[in-house]
Amino acid sequence: MLDDVIANIHDKIVPHTREQTPAAWEQFLSENDVLDDLELSMTELSFESED
């Protein structure tokens, strides 16, 4: 499940970075508060077992 989440995030960010370099990704993540928003979204998730 974690791999799917990471792949989904990656797929959504790729079109918004001109260069596929760590510096370009860091700039995009920083300018758009991606990590803060992601952290907030993840804290709102509820993991419950299904019976």
The whole-number pLDDT of residue 43 equals 87
Query: Average pLDDT of each block of 10 consecutive residues along the chain (51 residues)?
Result: 88 90 92 92 78 63
Query: Phi and psi (nearest 5°) for 50?
Result: -95, 135
The whole-number pLDDT of residue 44 equals 84
The whole-number pLDDT of residue 30 equals 93
Q: Are 38 and 5 in contact (CB under 8 A)?
A: no
The whole-number pLDDT of residue 50 equals 67
The whole-number pLDDT of residue 11 equals 94
| Lookup: tokens for 28 | 């995009």
Q: Are 34 and 13 in contact (CB under 8 A)?
A: yes
